[in-house]
Structure 1
Amino acid sequence: MLKIIQVGLGPLGNMLAADTIRRGLGEIVAAVDVSPELAGRRLGDVLPQNMPASSGVSASVRIVRSLDEVPASLRPDCAVVSTSSDLAKVAPTLFALISRGIPIVSTCEELLYPWLRHPRLADDLQTACARHNGRVLGTGVNPGFIMDALPVLASAVCRSVRSVHVWRIQDASPRRVPFQQKIGAGLDDKEFAKKIEDGSLRHVGLGESLHFIAKYLQLGADTGGITRWEESIEPVHATRDLDCALGPIPRGRASGVRQVANGYTGGGKTSAPERCIITFEFQAAIGQTDPLPQDRIVLDAEPPIDLTIKGGVHGDIATVAITLNAIRPLLAAPAGLHTMATVPAVHCAG
């Protein structure tokens, strides 16, 4: 049985810890969270009440506020880190774990493809992994699967791919509260615009997914790769009075967010005309019905590919599942900073 450290016990970390135990994937030997309200409490006291009787050892673990309080003698097999979307904020935790030689699977969105926004930090992580025989992987349902790893996998049956278009349309009603907050549910237009400006309202990861696909499919490789990319964001307005975990949403207020990202190749200093090679359309809103929730992947390819998941993949369940399913593939991978395209195939295993 794997020995696992859970770092971060917010709503997502709580779900990760609970599923680790429920699925019998491993024993949680340490739990870390900076919240003073959690310090010293038993892990079992903050997890759902319907945990299996076999969860005794993991449930008895006392939550600590720092990795420094985790004894080196524990020798865990892996750490699961679910603390922030911002790689710069997560980095100190990653380096601390790498220095102990502990492999890491993290839900940090920017870690899916860190070379986009944090190239120097990515190089430092790779260097640290080489020095300490470490392994690091960022994953999740999106980024991590629907809008990046799955389109790349779908291309396995293609002779060539000219462009990629992915839609992820979600009804955010059943999602956890932090997600509903992140998409601006319940805000008026002024509040929505302010949060866009300060960077607190957006789905994180479209740029990372876009560059992930371009790299591994070699899209535009003969015309400079992605020479320009852009991202737009706007509110989805409630067309009727709604209700969600955050409270009531009056008609006309934001029920969620719509983001579109496009990646282009050619143009500029190249001799080739500019063309769009990747388009993402992401929409998540409370009570989303038009268009209906779905995940759709279209490859303009030989042969053409058109995949649709009706209803879409449930984000919270899937993020927890793929994060835990990625542990053993990461352990089987060589030392280094990994992506979902460089570890062995991730799949459900019990």
Structure 2
Amino acid sequence: MLRILQVGLGPLGIRVVEDLYDRRLGRVVAAVDQDPQLIGRSLSKIVEVPDGPTVHGHLSGIEDLSDVRCAIVTTNSDLELCMDTFRCLLAEGVAVVSTCEELSWPWLRHPILAQELHEMCIRYGGRIVGTGVNPGFLMDALPVAVSMVCRKVRSVEIERIQDASSRRIPFQKKIGAGLDDIEFERRVANKTLRHVGLGESLFFVAHYLGLEVERWEETIAPVHADTELECGLGKISKGAARGVRQTATGWVDGEERLKLLFHAAIDEPNPCDRITIDGDPPLRVEIPGGVHGDVATSAACMNVIRPLLSAEPGLHTMASIALQGCTPPDDFAPPLHKMGPPPAS
């Protein structure tokens, strides 16, 4: 059974730990979180898991990382803020799976840090990948995979429209639910209100489709409540923001060829995930109701571990490691490098 280090015990980190045990994919041998209320407590007192390790406030509190096969880091969206954690883990040759959105395509905003991560992996034998539902799958890896059946692709439109009513409170805060326009715009300007990763998804798709983006732009606007609403954060007044509408557009050869829409709001009536490819053949793939982000992000973390461990050392993307599926329990899963045709009956 895989021995896992969990870094970050917020709502997502706790879900990851629960799923790890529920799916019998591994066990947590070390855990880290900076919350003073969690430091020093047994993980089994925070999450219903057997024999949980003591939670440390920093990786330096863990005496030996050599026993850890993979670290799952669910702490921050900003790559710069995650770098100390990544450096510490990669220097020990630990494989790292992270939900850091900027790590999904770090060459867009942090090319120097991306190079550093790759060089550390090569030097120490580590591996690292940024994953999740979005970025990490729905708006980048999945569209690229869908395009495999096309002879050519002229343009791609990707839409993720979510009803945020059932999402965790930190997500509802992130999309600005309940804010008036002045506060919404202030947080946009401070970059504390945005979906992180939309630009990364755009450049991921462009790279794997061989499209050279000449310029790109991103827009963020509130989605207003027509009536008074309730959500996990409390009451949303009529006219206040119930969510966010964010777009990323890329131009290739002077034409708009890539368009990504992220729309998440409380009480959104028609959620869905949709990919439209103008190509040969033209394709339209839609998931009615959309994919629940919290469930899917945890699942992505679990399902990427084994392909990452089988990959060569280095900084990876979701398209540079082996095709992922829903990983079976550890006691039923053969090593990836031994997979082959099924035995003859």
TM value normalised by structure 2: 0.94
Q: Does 1:226 find its partner at 2:213?
A: yes
Task: Look up the SS of the partner of 1:72 in the other structure.
Answer: coil
Describe the superposition over 1:58-99 as per-residue Cα deviations: whole angstroms up to 9, x where unpaired: xx3110011111121651110000000000000110010000
Tell me how far 1:127 sits from its aligned partner: 0.5
The correspondence for 1:164, drawn from 153, 156, 172, is 156
Task: Look up the SS of the partner of 2:246 in the other structure.
Answer: strand
Q: Which residue identity lines up with residue 201 of structure 2 in the other structure? A: S
Q: 1:127-276 to 2 correspondence within 5 Å?
A: 127-219=119-211, 225-266=212-253, 274-276=254-256
Q: Which residue identity lines up with residue 283 of structure 1 in the other structure? A: H
Task: Look up the SS of the partner of 1:29 in the other structure.
Answer: strand
The runs of at least 4 aligned residues of structure 1 exceeding 6 Å deviation read: none
Q: 1:73 to 1:130 in 2, by over 3 A?
A: closer
Name the counterpart of 1:277.
Answer: 257
Q: 1:299-314 to 2 correspondence within 5 Å?
A: 299-314=277-292
Q: 1:180 to 1:73 in 2, by over 3 A?
A: closer
Q: Which residue identity lines up with residue 56 of structure 1 in the other structure? A: P
Distance 2:141 2:65 in 1: 36
Task: Look up the SS of the partner of 1:12 in the other structure.
Answer: helix
Describe the superposition over 1:217-265 as per-residue Cα deviations: whole angstroms up to 9, x where unpaired: 102xxxxx10100000000001111111100111111000000110012
Distance 2:70 2:262 in 1: 32
Q: Which residue identity lines up with residue 338 of structure 1 in the other structure? A: H
Distance 2:236 2:325 in 1: 38
Q: Does 1:122 find its partner at 2:108?
A: no
Distance 1:32 1:246 in 2: 27
Distance 2:130 2:320 in 1: 11
Q: 1:86-125 to 2 correspondence within 5 Å?
A: 86-125=78-117
Distance 2:175 2:250 in 1: 23
Distance 2:276 2:255 in 1: 17
Aligned residues: 328
Name the counterpart of 1:340.
Answer: 318
Task: Look up the SS of the partner of 1:16 in the other structure.
Answer: helix
CA contact (8 A) 2:65 2:92 kept: no
CA contact (8 A) 1:87 1:110 kept: yes
Tell me how far 1:104 sits from its aligned partner: 0.2
Distance 2:309 2:116 in 1: 20
CA contact (8 A) 2:163 2:268 kept: yes
Please tell me the root mean square deviation across aligned C-alpha atoms, in Å.
Answer: 0.9
Distance 1:242 1:232 in 2: 25
Describe the superposition over 1:139-164 as per-residue Cα deviations: whole angstroms up to 9, x where unpaired: 00000011000000001111111110
Task: Look up the SS of the partner of 2:119 in the other structure.
Answer: helix
CA contact (8 A) 1:135 1:338 kept: yes
Distance 1:345 1:201 in 2: 33
In structure 1, stretches of 5+ residues that fail to align are 220-224, 267-273
CA contact (8 A) 1:29 1:74 kept: no
CA contact (8 A) 2:219 2:246 kept: yes
CA contact (8 A) 1:196 1:202 kept: yes
Q: 1:73 to 1:216 in 2, by over 3 A?
A: closer
Describe the superposition over 1:263-286 as per-residue Cα deviations: whole angstroms up to 9, x where unpaired: 0123xxxxxxx1011001110000
Describe the superposition over 1:29-50 as per-residue Cα deviations: whole angstroms up to 9, x where unpaired: 0000011111101112222xxx
Distance 1:334 1:188 in 2: 49
CA contact (8 A) 1:32 1:67 kept: yes
Distance 1:306 1:218 in 2: 20
- What percentage of aligned pairs have identical amino acids? 52
The correspondence for 1:330, drawn from 293, 308, 318, is 308
Distance 1:75 1:193 in 2: 47
Q: Which residue identity lines up with residue 256 of structure 2 in the other structure? A: C
Q: Which residue identity lines up with residue 328 of structure 1 in the other structure? A: R
Name the counterpart of 2:339.
Answer: none
Task: Look up the SS of the partner of 1:151 in the other structure.
Answer: helix
